[in-house]
Amino acid sequence: QKEVEQDPGPLSVPEGAIVSLNCTYSNSAFQYFMWYRQYSRKGPELLMYTYSSGNKEDGRFTAQVDKSSKYISLFIRDSQPSDSATYLCAMSGQGAQKLVFGQGTRLTINP
């Protein structure tokens, strides 16, 4: 079993919809949680980061962490065609340097 599980999709929604992306994990030592966006044949771009449990909002993006359930989410409001990309969750433990990534969810926003 992988440490981080993420539904690979693909996920296709109409423009303006609210998108929910999720990851589950098994390692209770993870403390730092991140979401990256990756366009085709490009490097991952850091979108959001959170520490421990709670919510964080940045414009149309909201990240949630529920450590008791080992479950993290990214919500995208008022989705735009430019949001079409692969979304990767990543996490690391206290003092650890390597990031452990999910498989990535491929998202398409249809105009």
Partner 1 sequence: DTGVSQNPRHKITKRGQNVTFRCDPISEHNRLYWYRQTLGQGPEFLTYFQNEAQLEKSRLLSDRFSAERPKGSFSTLEIQRTEQGDSAMYLCASSFAGGIYNEQFFGPGTRLTVL
Closest approach, Cβ 111 to partner 1, in A, equals: 25
Closest approach, Cβ 53 to partner 1, in A, equals: 15
Question: Which residues in this chain contact partner 1 in the complex, by CB under 8 A?
Answer: 4, 6, 8, 32, 34, 36, 41-46, 49, 51, 88, 90, 92, 97-104
Position of tokens 């693909």? Answer: 10
Tell me, rounded to whole angstroms, the distance of Cα 65 from its chain centroid: 10
Q: Between residues 59 and 98, which has the closer beta carbon with respect to partner 1?
A: 98
* Measured CA distances, 91 to 78, 82, 98 (Å): 26, 25, 8
Q: Between residues 49 and 61, which has the closer beta carbon with respect to partner 1?
A: 49
Closest approach, Cβ 5 to partner 1, in A, equals: 11
Position of tokens 């919809």? Answer: 17
Cis peptide before 14 (omega within 30 of 0): no
